Amino acid sequence: MKAIPTAIPDVVILEPKVFGDERGFFFESWNRRAFAEAVGRDVDFVQDNHSRSARGVLRGLHYQVVRPQGKLVRVVAGEVFDVAVDLRRSSPTFGRAVGVLLSAANRRQLWVPEGFAHGFLVVSESADFLYKTTDWYAPEHERSLLWNDPALGIDWPLAGLAPTLKPADAAGKPLAQAEAYP
């Protein structure tokens, strides 16, 4: 597993070693030891999630104010623009965002540690998105950071189109009003 740094040091792109031939391919999508070496810490994942979304669907930017979740995310069909926003007030990168393209073709994964808001925009016809979490979903603690807050400076690849959002995401809080972590 190759670790590729991002503009926010705690958010890491993970690229698997893929073995392929005329029959197809094989790679380890999860290896606890390799992950710990790549990101510098061992984690326990407690839940796996799978979503399918159509082109233009924007999910996020989500986080839990209690029981924060670290997420290891990947795409197994299609392509998304995936975003992590640092919500740790004590961090030198507080309020900064990083975005990367994840796809079935590039097989990359993104590690989004606890203390970050996370979201993605589907840029292919549809996308199947898988993610592991370090804590269980707690809907009473879920918050949405406003996806298009100018303070975040996220350059969503919308090509002039309006994204499809659930009402809670459309009503997300701007960074200046969002609950954050210490």
pLDDT (tens, 9 = 90+) of the chain, 182 residues, equals 999 999 999 999 999 999 999 999 999 999 999 999 999 999 999 999 999 999 999 999 999 999 999 999 999 999 999 999 999 999 999 999 999 999 999 999 999 999 999 999 999 999 999 999 999 999 999 999 999 999 999 999 998 899 999 999 999 999 999 999 99
* 63 labelled catalytic: no
The catalytically annotated residue of 131, 137, 141, 181 is 131
CATH number of 46-177: 2.60.120.10
Domain ranges of the chain: 46-177
Task: For residues 77 and 75, give the distance between their C-alpha atoms in angstroms, rounded to a whole number.
Answer: 6
Identify the active-site residue in 62, 63, 118, 141. 62
Catalytic-residue membership of 131: yes
Angle at 163 between CA 81 and CA 145, to 5 degrees: 70
- Report the predicted TM-score, pTM, of the whole model to 2 decimal places: 0.96
Backbone angles phi, psi at 140, to 5 degrees: -70, -15
What is the H or E stretch that residue 136 is in? none
Query: For residues 96 and 85, is the Cβ–Cβ distance under 8 A?
Result: yes
